[in-house]
Structure 1
Amino acid sequence: MLSNLIYVSKRKSNCTEEEIKKILDSCERNNSGEDITGVLLYSKDSFVQYLEGEYKKIFELYDKIKLDDRHKEIRLINSSPIKEKVFPSWHMGAKKLDFSNIEFKTDITEKDKGEFNKILNGENSPNSVELLKKVFN
């Protein structure tokens, strides 16, 4: 079953920009073979990652991600079945952000900004996927 998964975590100090590059290179190498796509938002101290693919495969990947010592306080905020992928050609799109001053690529309401802050704080938002799309599209 095609599904998505969103988690947030705190970036550890040992996770340098070089380590982020290693993460993205690994995603490019490994996710294409598993037909997993998604996006990674990161700041100097946090991650938000959206994964999409077959349910079993994305949860197997999530289990591996939870063991990665470059982050801590990993919190699953949403997972649900989907009809189609949101980022079908991105084995892992990435964007570095200042989470205190996010620039959205489309118009966003104050309510949406509040909902996005909920995501950053590890809370689910009913619009989480749509809000992530607004950062990238």
Structure 2
Amino acid sequence: MPGQESWRNPMIYQVFYTSRSLFGSGNATDHEILSVARARNAATGVTGYLFRTNMAFMQFLEGHEADVRPILRSILDDPRHDQIDIWPAMRIRERQFAGWDMGYANGLADENLAHVARQRLDGVTVDHVRRYLTGLRAA
């Protein structure tokens, strides 16, 4: 059943990526992306959060690896994304975005993406990035 964690592997697969958008924030493509993501994620039990700057996406996806990997592949093949940077996947004990088929925060500054990119170069963990981005969402 979607959303049920496997008794054989209680660890949840989580991936984070950043990408440049070929369209500015607020373009009709944002609505398309969210509509498809929410329906697909609800059907497969995947949860996540999409952070949007004017010209970039930063997204967390989490769930069973067999459900998350095809979604990530579709993002890699999606012509609306460019310069995709996928951080190393993690195994986590509990979902960080439980209850969100696909949460969404728009209006982050492009400097936030630059900050996240610098953190990657500095070896900062994805968990730290998650706390940083969710803090921006709450501000």
Q: TM-score band, normalised by the shorter chain?
A: 0.7 to 0.9
The alpha-carbon distance between structure 1 residues 73 and 101, as it changes in their structure 2 partners (threshold 3 A), is closer
State the TM-score, normalizing by the size of structure 1: 0.78
Give how far 1:13 is off. 3.1
Give how far 1:134 is off. 2.0
State the TM-score, normalizing by the size of structure 2: 0.77
- How many angstroms apart in 2 are the aligned matches of 1:84 and 1:10? 29
Give the AA of the match of 1:132. Answer: L
The aligned residue for residue 116 of structure 2 is 119
Moved more, 46-55 or 13-22: 13-22
What's the C-alpha RMSD, in Å, of the aligned pairs?
A: 2.4
The aligned residue for residue 84 of structure 2 is 74
The aligned residue for residue 99 of structure 1 is 109
Is 1:40 the equivalent of 2:50?
Answer: yes
Give how far 1:129 is off. 2.4
Count of paired positions: 124
The answer to whether the 8 A contact 1:15-1:71 is kept is no
Aligned-residue sequence identity (percent) comes to: 21
Q: Secondary structure at the match of 1:78?
A: coil
Q: Secondary structure at the match of 1:48?
A: strand
The aligned residue for residue 33 of structure 2 is 23
Superposed CA offset, 1:23-58 (max 9, x none):
101111110111111110112211101111112211
The alpha-carbon distance between structure 1 residues 121 and 48, as it changes in their structure 2 partners (threshold 3 A), is farther
The alpha-carbon distance between structure 1 residues 46 and 57, as it changes in their structure 2 partners (threshold 3 A), is same
Q: Secondary structure at the match of 1:86?
A: coil
The answer to whether the 8 A contact 1:39-1:49 is kept is yes
Give how far 1:100 is off. 4.5
Q: For structure 1, list consecutive stretches of 5 or more residues without a partner in the other structure.
A: 103-115
Q: For structure 2, list consecutive stretches of 5 or more residues without a partner in the other structure.
A: 1-10
The alpha-carbon distance between structure 1 residues 135 and 15, as it changes in their structure 2 partners (threshold 3 A), is closer
